[in-house]
C-alpha cells in the first residue's frame, strides 16, 4: 500500500518540476450535475469526469468498464451488471424489494435510474461524472454517498456518423452506430438530431457443466437513444431525449467450489427493459433570470431469478436440490424540476451574489411479484411521492473568494401494501445542504473547504414471518455530515491537472443491508447500526508530458468504522471496517499516441481486501489488474487490440458465508468471481 502511495507521490513531484515548453494544454471540463454547470476545477467537491475521449481511450462501453478505475468507488457483484454501487464505502449490496432507497444516485440525461443502473451503456456518451460525498442540495435523498451522472452526446449542426465493431473471446460481439446532424443543413435555426444504437452480446465467463452450456450467464443487451434539439427563438432551447434499453441477461454465477463452472439446473435471469424520455427547456427571456425546466418519465420492467441451491437434483443424494427464486419488478417514475437561475442583472447584495431557486417533484410506483417453488407468493404495491424545494447562494467575496450555501427540504409520502397483509404508510420530511468556501490561490491553484449534509429516508422491511423480531420491521432515516477540504491545480501551462481531497463523514443511524433465514428462504433487509464514520483521501492527476506521452493516475484511501449488533449475527460489531469498503484503490497508467497513428495504452488498477458483510468476518483478497490496448489511428478509422486482466488475476466482487449443502450445518465462504483475462479487437469508422 505504501509503495503505491509513494509511486504516485513521486510521479506528482516529478511532473511538478518538469519543463513545460513542449507541453499541451488540457481542456477544462464542465460538470453538468452541478446546479450551475461549473468547471470541474471550480466545483467545491471531489469529482471525477471522464469525457468521450477518455472513455474511448479506455475502450469503455458500459459503466462496469470504468468503475474499478475510480477512487473510492466499488460495486457488489450481486447482478449481471453493476447495480449495487458503493461510494466511500456507502451503498447497498443486495437485491431488495421493499422500499427503493438507493445511497448512490445514478442518472442518465437527468432520468433517475438510482438502484437500477444496469442500463449504464457508454457508447456515444459525452461524459461520465462521479461526485463523491453527500449531494443533498444538488440531488436529494438518493445521493447520500454520491452521484453518478451520465451525459450522452449532443446533437450537432454538422453531419457526422460513426460505426464501431468489436469481437472478442467468450463470444463477445458489439456493434455501435451513431448518426448526427441538422434536418436542414446550413440553417442556423434548424432542429438538430442524434441517434445511436448499441448491441452487446457475450456468453459470459461461466460454463454450466450440468447443462453443457457456456452462455447461462451471458449478456444480450440492446440500447437505442435519440436526441432532438430545437431553438424556437433566441431565448429558448429545447432538448428532447428518448431512450430504450433491453437487457436480457442470464444469472448463473455461483458454484459450490467458487469456480467458473456451475452445476445449476435452473439458471437464473437478470433482465431490465427500460423506456424513458426527458424534455429540458432552457429559457432566457427574462431580464433577471433564466428558467430551466426538466421533465422526465421512465418505465422499467425487470426480472431477477436464480437457482438457490446452485446444483441439479440428485447432486446431494440425501438433499433437496430444487430451490428456485424469481422476482418480477415494474418501476414507473415521472418527475418535474423547475429552476430559476439569476443572471448578471439580478445578482443580490450589491451584485455580489448569484442565486438559484428550484422546485422538484417525483412520483415513483413500483410493483413486485416474488415467488419460489417452496410456496412463496408475495405481491406488493409501492408508491412514493417526493416534493422538494431547494435554493443556493454563491457570494463572490472577492475576485479570488467564493462562499456557497445551499439547502434542500424534501417530503416523502409513502404507501406500501401486499397480499400478506403488510401495510406501511410513513410520511417524512428530510433536509440537506452545504456550505463551502473556495479560495483561488493563484492562476493555477485553488482550494476549497466544505460541510455538507446528506440524507436517506427511513423505511420498512417486508417478506418477514409473523414471528419476526419487531426490530426488523422498520428502520430509521439516516443522515451524514461530511467535512471536506481539497486543492485543485493546473500546472505546466495547463498540461498537468491534479486534485486532492480529504474528507471525514459522520453517519447518524447508519443503514446497512443484512440477511436472515425465514422459513425456507433467505430474506434481505435494512437495519440501523449504532454509529459509523467514513474518512479518507481522493487524489487524481493527468499529465500531458508532450505531443505523444501522457501519464495518469488516481488514489483512493478509505478508513471506515462501524459499531452495532447485526440482527442476523451472533456477535457484536465494534469499531470494525464497513463491508465493501476497501482501504485503498489505485489507478496508474501511461498512454502513447503518435502522429503516424500508433496508439499504446497500459494501466494497472488495484483494490484492497474488504469485508463482504457486517454479519460475518469473511473478506476478499487484495488484487491488482493489468490492462493493455494497442492500435492504429487514421483520420477516419481506428483499429485496436486490447486485453483486460492481462495476468488472469482471480478476485471476488461479492461473498457470502452460510450453509448451502446438506446437512446445512457447516457454514462456508462462497464468492462471486470477477472477470478473468479477456481480449478482443475493436474497429471504429467515422464517415
- 637-649 tens-digit pLDDT: 999 999 999 999 9
Give which of 490, 590, 444 is closest to 24, Cα–Cα.
Answer: 490
In the predicted model, is pLDDT for residue 11 greater than 90? no
Cell 409513502 appears where? 414
Cell 437561475 appears where? 341
Cα Rg of the chain, angstroms: 25
Give which of 580, 556, 553, 576 is closest to 566, Cα–Cα.
Answer: 576
Find out whether 144 and 115 touch, Cβ atoms under 8 Å. Answer: no
pLDDT value for 2: 41
Q: What is the CATH number of the domain that holds 252?
A: 2.40.170.20
Find out whether 85 and 106 touch, Cβ atoms under 8 Å. Answer: yes
* Mean pLDDT on 441-445: 92
Per-residue pLDDT tens digits for 476-512: 999 999 999 999 999 888 799 999 999 999 999 999 8
pLDDT value for 520: 59
Eight-class DSSP state of 57: H
Find out whether 373 and 393 touch, Cβ atoms under 8 Å. Answer: no
- Cα–Cα distance measured from residue 238 to residue 150, given in angstroms and rounded to the nearest whole number: 19
pLDDT value for 521: 62
- By 3-state DSSP, what share of the chain in percent is helix, strand and coil, each rounded to 5? 5, 55, 35
Q: To 10 degrees, the CA torsion angle through 133, 139, 143, 144?
A: 60
Q: Which domain holds residue 365?
A: 2-686
pLDDT value for 16: 42
Report for 285-289, 356-360, 510-514, 613-617: range of highest mean pLDDT:
356-360
- Cα–Cα distance measured from residue 408 to residue 139, given in angstroms and rounded to the nearest whole number: 9
pLDDT value for 426: 92
Pair type for strands 261-262 and 207-208: parallel
In the predicted model, is pLDDT for residue 6 greater than 60? no
Question: What residues have CB less than 8 Å from 642, skipping those under 6 apart?
Answer: 59, 627, 628, 629, 630, 679, 680, 681, 682
The three grid cell numbers given for residue 674, joined into one nine-digit string: 470477477
Name the least confident of 179-183, 375-379, 448-452: 375-379
- Cα–Cα distance measured from residue 476 to residue 529, given in angstroms and rounded to the nearest whole number: 10
In the predicted model, is pLDDT for residue 675 greater than 70? yes
When pLDDT is cut at 50, 70 and 90, the band that residue 228 belongs to is: very high
Instruction: Print the SS3 string covering 86-133.
Output: EECCECCCCCCCCCCCCCEEEEECCEECCCCHHHCECCCEEEEEEEEC
Give which of 686, 681, 687 is closest to 59, Cα–Cα.
Answer: 681
Per-residue pLDDT tens digits for 51-98: 999 999 999 999 999 999 999 999 999 899 999 999 999 999 887 667
Neighbours of 35 (CB within 10 A): 19
pLDDT value for 188: 83
In the predicted model, is pLDDT for residue 552 greater than 60? yes
pLDDT value for 320: 66
When pLDDT is cut at 50, 70 and 90, the band that residue 574 belongs to is: confident
In the predicted model, is pLDDT for residue 189 greater than 90? no
H-helix segments, 335-457:
348-351
Give the number of C-alpha atoms closer than 13 A to the C-alpha of residue 387, restricted to the C-beta side.
Answer: 4
The three grid cell numbers given for residue 379, joined into one nine-digit string: 405481491
pLDDT value for 296: 98
The three grid cell numbers given for residue 105, joined into one nine-digit string: 444516485
Give the H or E element holding residue 343.
none
Give which of 42, 65, 38 is closest to 54, Cα–Cα.
Answer: 65
In the predicted model, is pLDDT for residue 571 greater than 90? no
> For a pLDDT cut of 90, what percent of the chain falls above it?
76
pTM for the structure as a whole: 0.93
- The rounded Cα 432 to chain-centroid distance in angstroms is 21
Give which of 518, 557, 520, 513 is closest to 535, Cα–Cα.
Answer: 557
By the 10 Å C-beta count (0-12 exposed, 13-18 middle, 19+ buried), 45 is classed as: buried
pLDDT value for 186: 81
When pLDDT is cut at 50, 70 and 90, the band that residue 26 belongs to is: very low
- Cα–Cα distance measured from residue 270 to residue 421, given in angstroms and rounded to the nearest whole number: 28
Structural domain total, the chain? 1
When pLDDT is cut at 50, 70 and 90, the band that residue 319 belongs to is: low
In the predicted model, is pLDDT for residue 682 greater than 90? yes
Name the least confident of 434-448, 455-469, 500-514: 455-469
In the predicted model, is pLDDT for residue 321 greater than 80? no
Give which of 658, 662, 563, 664 is closest to 614, Cα–Cα.
Answer: 563
Per-residue pLDDT tens digits for 522-539: 677 888 998 899 999 999
| CB crowding 597-620: b at 16 or more within 10 Å, else e | eebebbbebbbbebbbbbbbebbb
Amino acid at each position: 500500500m505504501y509503495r503505491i502511495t509513494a509511486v504516485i507521490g513521486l510521479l506528482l513531484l516529478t511532473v511538478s518540476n518538469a519543463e513545460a515548453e513542449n507541453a499541451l494544454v488540457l481542456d477544462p471540463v464542465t460538470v453538468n450535475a452541478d446546479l450551475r454547470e461549473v468547471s470541474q476545477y471550480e466545483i467545491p467537491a471531489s469529482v471525477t469526469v471522464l469525457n468521450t475521449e477518455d472513455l474511448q481511450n479506455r475502450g469503455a462501453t458500459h459503466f462496469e468498464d470504468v468503475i474499478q478505475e475510480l477512487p473510492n468507488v466499488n460495486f457488489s457483484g450481486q447482478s449481471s451488471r453493476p447495480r449495487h454501487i458503493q461510494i466511500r464505502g456507502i451503498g447497498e449490496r443486495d437485491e431488495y424489494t421493499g422500499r427503493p432507497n438507493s445511497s448512490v444516485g445514478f442518472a442518465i440525461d437527468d432520468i433517475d435510474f438510482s438502484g437500477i443502473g444496469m442500463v449504464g451503456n457508454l457508447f456515444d456518451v459525452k461524459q461520465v461524472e462521479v461526485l463523491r460525498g453527500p449531494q443533498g442540495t444538488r440531488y436529494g435523498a438518493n445521493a447520500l454517498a454520491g452521484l453518478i451522472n451520465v451525459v450522452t452526446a449532443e446533437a450537432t449542426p454538422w453531419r457526422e456518423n460513426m460505426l464501431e465493431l468489436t469481437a472478442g473471446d467468450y463470444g463477445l460481439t458489439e456493434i455501435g452506430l451513431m448518426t448526427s446532424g441538422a434536418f436542414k443543413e446550413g440553417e442556423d435555426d434548424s432542429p438538430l438530431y442524434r441517434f445511436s444504437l448499441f448491441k452487446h452480446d457475450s456468453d459470459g465467463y461461466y460454463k454450466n457443466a450440468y447443462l453443457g452450456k457456456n452462455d447461462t450467464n451471458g449478456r444480450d443487451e440492446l440500447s437505442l437513444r435519440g436526441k432532438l434539439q430545437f431553438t424556437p427563438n433566441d431565448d429558448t432551447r429545447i432538448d428532447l431525449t428518448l431512450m430504450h434499453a433491453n437487457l436480457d441477461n442470464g444469472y448463473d454465477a455461483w458454484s459450490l467450489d467458487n469456480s467458473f463452472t456451475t452445476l445449476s439446473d435452473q439458471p437464473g435471469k437478470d433482465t431490465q427493459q427500460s423506456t424513458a424520455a426527458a424534455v429540458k427547456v432552457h429559457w432566457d427571456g427574462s431580464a433577471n433570470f433564466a428558467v430551466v425546466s426538466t421533465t422526465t418519465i421512465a418505465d422499467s420492467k425487470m426480472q431477477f431469478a436464480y437457482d438457490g441451491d446452485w446444483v441439479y437434483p440428485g447432486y446431494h443424494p440425501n438433499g433437496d436440490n430444487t430451490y428456485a427464486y424469481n422476482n418480477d419488478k415494474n418501476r414507473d417514475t415521472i418527475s418535474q424540476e423547475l429552476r430559476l437561475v439569476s443572471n448578471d442583472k439580478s445578482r443580490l447584495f450589491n451584485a455580489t451574489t448569484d442565486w438559484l431557486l428550484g422546485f422538484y417533484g417525483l412520483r415513483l410506483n413500483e410493483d413486485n411479484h416474488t415467488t419460489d417453488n417452496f410456496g412463496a407468493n408475495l405481491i406488493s404495491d409501492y408508491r412514493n411521492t417526493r416534493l422538494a424545494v431547494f435554493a443556493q447562494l454563491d457570494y463572490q467575496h472577492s475576485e479570488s473568494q467564493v462562499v456557497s450555501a445551499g439547502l434542500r427540504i424534501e417530503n416523502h409520502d409513502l404507501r406500501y401494501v401486499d397480499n400478506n397483509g403488510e401495510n406501511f404508510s410513513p410520511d417524512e420530511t428530510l433536509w440537506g445542504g452545504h456550505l463551502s468556501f473556495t479560495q483561488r490561490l493563484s492562476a493555477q491553484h485553488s482550494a476549497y473547504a466544505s460541510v455538507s449534509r446528506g440524507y436517506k429516508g427511513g423505511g420498512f422491511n417486508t417478506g418477514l414471518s409473523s414471528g419476526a423480531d419487531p426490530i426488523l420491521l422498520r428502520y430509521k432515516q439516516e443522515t451524514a455530515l461530511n467535512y471536506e477540504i481539497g486543492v485543485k491545480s493546473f500546472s505546466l501551462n495547463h498540461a498537468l491537472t491534479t486534485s486532492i481531497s480529504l474528507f471525514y463523514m459522520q453517519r447518524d443511524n447508519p443503514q446497512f443491508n443484512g440477511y436472515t433465514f425465514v422459513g425456507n428462504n433467505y430474506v434481505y433487509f435494512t437495519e440501523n447500526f449504532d454509529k459509523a464514520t467514513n474518512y479518507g483521501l481522493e487524489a487524481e492527476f493527468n499529465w500531458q508530458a508532450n505531443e505523444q506521452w501522457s501519464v495518469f493516475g488516481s488514489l483512493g484511501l478509505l478508513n471506515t468504522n462501524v459499531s452495532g449488533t447485526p440482527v442476523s449475527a451472533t456477535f457484536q460489531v465494534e469499531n470494525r471496517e464497513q463491508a465493501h469498503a476497501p482501504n485503498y484503490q489505485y489507478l496508474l497508467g501511461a498512454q502513447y499516441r503518435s502522429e503516424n497513428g500508433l496508439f499504446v495504452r497500459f494501466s494497472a488498477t488495484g483494490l484492497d481486501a474488504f469485508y463482504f458483510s457486517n454479519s460475518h468476518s469473511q473478506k476478499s483478497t487484495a488484487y491488482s489488474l493489468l490492462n493493455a490496448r494497442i492500435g492504429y489511428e487514421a483520420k477516419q478509422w481506428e483499429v485496436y487490440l486490447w486485453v483486460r486482466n492481462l495476468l488472469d488475476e482471480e478476485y471476488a466482487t461479492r461473498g457470502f458465508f452460510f450453509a448451502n449443502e446438506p446437512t446445512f450445518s457447516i457454514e462456508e465462504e462462497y464468492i462471486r468471481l470477477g472477470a478473468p483475462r479477456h481480449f478482443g479487437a475493436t474497429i471504429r469508422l467515422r464517415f
